[in-house]
Amino acid sequence: MNRPGTLRWLLPALVVVVSVGCAGARVHERGSDNARSARANLESLKANPELADRAPAELQEAESAVRTAETTDTRDGTLRQHLGYLAEVKVETARAAAEQQLAEDQGKAWAAERERQRNNLSAADAEALRLELAALKARQTERGYVVTISDVLFTTAKWDIKPGAAKNLDRLVALLQKYPNLTIFVEGHTDSQGNDAYNQDLSEKRAGAVKDLLVSRGIASERITEVGHGEGLPVADNKTASGRQQNRRVEIVFEKLNLP
Amino acid sequence: MTFILGSRIPSALAAGLAAALTVGCATTPPQPPPTRELQAAESSIVGAERTGAAQYAPQELRVAREKLSVGHKARQDGHMTLARRAAEQAQADAELATARTQAAIARAQAEQARGDVP
């Protein structure tokens, strides 16, 4: 640490303190240079379109610290300076929080762009696909988009697809035909009736049945990976008949598909 | 004097000094020790360290630590107003260190994501 530099600060500060703090300035003052510069920085943050809305809680806290620094009515110059300092630091904290959020948003946008290119989609196609997935009631999960095909797909202990249920897969077939670079996981699940090994086998057969159906409609089998999960990942209560029916399902997972 | 902070942080220095020097004034009524404020500052500093502030915001982290030690010393000496203000500033500095660290990490990750795009 640089001692002469330190002394340069020590002397003026001492003078300020003695004259304002102890001798007692007669006039109460509000704000400080710190408070004014905190206000200016806060206003410039609020005027920055990329940052203004990205850290509302921190911005609120900064606003309140700046206001306190500006309005505290005291003859205590050191208190004014203290509040001004806190205000400055909180404004900087809000700025950093907003910059963090901005960077995270940009990172997500780049990741989405990368996915779009990986799937060989134009920006317009990506938007259309997003809408089509929404029509299929796809859920967005950590892994990617997941479409559940549960409605009366399988009878207990069976893996052949009920004739009516096959129509539910038509939309999926159309989507896969339209976007030939998409690959999917077809994942089978069972209810809790029967033992684990049996259900594991049954879930694989269910996944296989859906894969076969897709292949029979002209989807290349290399695009489809089948997986059986047994009874381990229920989505509903296995104690009721309707819960068990929901658990007898196949999920179509568009892994890592991350659309804008 | 341990509370003298680097000349690169003049406002922190001036505030710290000013606070230190006023305490002697007879007009200040007796204050309870700022135990809670000192603990809050300490845990904010630990939080900043865990986030990686030693790497990404070393300056802010150092200032926070120095002010915390000013605060502890002032409490021992019975300067409670200085102790409380030092603790409050230390906490704010540590939170700034955390925020700047997280921003730096997020920027690095965004750069990485950008680099992954063919």
Q: Do the domain assignments include residue B6? A: no
Count the Cβ atoms, other than its own, within 10 Å of residue A193. Answer: 15
A111, A140, A173 - which closes a domain: A111
Query: Looking at the predicted structure, is the pLDDT value of residue A200 above 70?
Result: yes
Q: Look up the domain containing A232 and give its range.
A: 123-255
Question: How does residue B11 score in pLDDT terms, banded at 50, 70 and 90?
Answer: low
Distance between CA atoms of residues B85 and B80, nearest Å: 9
Comparing CB atoms, the residue among A93, A106, A108 nearest residue B99 is A93
- pLDDT tens digits, A2-18: 344 443 444 344 333 33
Whether the per-residue pLDDT at A142 is higher than 90: the answer is no
Residues A166 and A213 occupy one common structural domain: yes
Q: What is the mean pLDDT of residues B49-55?
A: 97
Same domain, yes or no: A248 and A174: yes
Residue A129 has pLDDT above 90, yes or no: no
Percent of chain B with pLDDT over 70: 75
- B1, B13, B21, B98: which to substitute to probe chain A, counting the most A Cβ within 10 Å? B21
| Residue A63 sits in the same domain as residue A133 | no
Tell if the CB–CB gap between B15 and A78 is shorter than 8 Å. Answer: yes
End-of-domain residue from the set A64, A84, A111: A111
pLDDT band at residue B93 under the 50/70/90 scheme? very high
Residues A78 and A128 in one domain: no
A116 assigned to some structural domain: no
- Looking at residue B4, its pLDDT comes to 38
Chain A nearest CA to B4, separation (Å)? 7
Instruction: Mark whether A104 and A152 lie in a shared domain.
Output: no
CA atoms within 13 A on the CB side of A125: 15
Q: Does some domain include residue B4?
A: no
- Encoded tokens for A82: 């203290």
A249 and A173, same structural domain? yes
For chain A, the average pLDDT equals 83
| Mean pLDDT along residues A193-209 | 90
- Asked if the Cβ–Cβ distance from A93 to B114 is below 8 Å, we say no
Nearest residue, CB atoms, A100 vs list B7, B19, B99: B99
User: Does a structural domain hold residue A28?
Assistant: yes
Is B48 domain-assigned?
Answer: yes
Domain count, chain A: 2
Do residues A11 and A83 share a domain?
yes
Express each pLDDT in A146-170 by its tens digit.
Answer: 988 765 566 666 777 766 666 667 8
Q: Is position A260 within any domain?
A: no
Q: ipTM of this model?
A: 0.78
What integer pLDDT is reported at residue A249 of this predicted model?
86
Q: How many CB atoms sit inside 10 A of residue A141's CB?
A: 11
Does A240 map to a domain?
Answer: yes
Name the domain boundary from A55, A80, A111.
A111
Q: Is B18 within the bounds of a domain?
A: no
Please list the alpha-helical segments (H only) found in chain A: 3-16, 33-46, 56-71, 77-118, 123-135, 170-178, 196-216, 241-247
- Percent share of chain A, pLDDT over 70: 82
Considering only CB atoms, which chain B residues are within 8 Å of A72?
A: none
Residue B28: inside a domain: no
- Between A18 and B81, residue with greater pLDDT: B81
- Residue A53's pLDDT is 96
The answer as to whether B17 is a domain residue is: no
In angstroms, what separates the C-alpha of A259 from chain B's closest C-alpha? 14
| Per-residue tokens: A85 | 């300092």
Pair A173, A79 in one domain: no
In a domain, A118, yes or no: no
Based on the domain organization, do A128 and A249 belong to the same domain? yes
- To test the contact with chain A by mutation, choose from B1, B8, B11, B93 the residue with the greatest count of A C-beta atoms within 10 A, namely B11
Residue B82 belongs to domain spanning: 33-116
Has residue B12 been placed in a domain?
A: no
Q: What is the distance, to the nearest Å, from the Cα of residue A158 to the centroid of all Cα atoms in its chain?
A: 38
- Taking the Cβ of residue B75 and every Cβ of chain A, the question of whether any pair is shorter than 8 Å is answered with no
Q: Are A255 and A119 in contact (CB under 8 A)?
A: no
Based on the fold, state whether residues A106 and A201 are members of the same structural domain: no
Which residues in A lie closer than 8 A to residue B107 (C-beta atoms)? 99, 103
Does residue B7 belong to any structural domain of this protein? no
Cα–Cα distance measured from residue B58 to residue B51, given in angstroms and rounded to the nearest whole number: 12
Does residue B7 register a pLDDT over 90?
no
Residue A128 and residue A103 share a domain: no
* Contacting residues of B for A59, CB less than 8 Å apart: none
DSSP summary character for residue A148: E
Name A227's bridge partners: A187
Query: Count of domains in chain B?
Result: 1
Mean pLDDT, range B51-64, rounded to an integer: 97
Q: Quick check: A6 and B18 CB within 8 A? A: no
State the number of CA atoms in the 13 A half-sphere of A78 facing the CB.
Answer: 30
Contact A229, A256 (CB under 8 A): no
Residue A146: in which H helix or E strand, if any? strand A144-149
B21 vs A93: CB contact, 8 Å cut-off? no
Are residue A79 and residue A169 in the same domain, yes or no? no
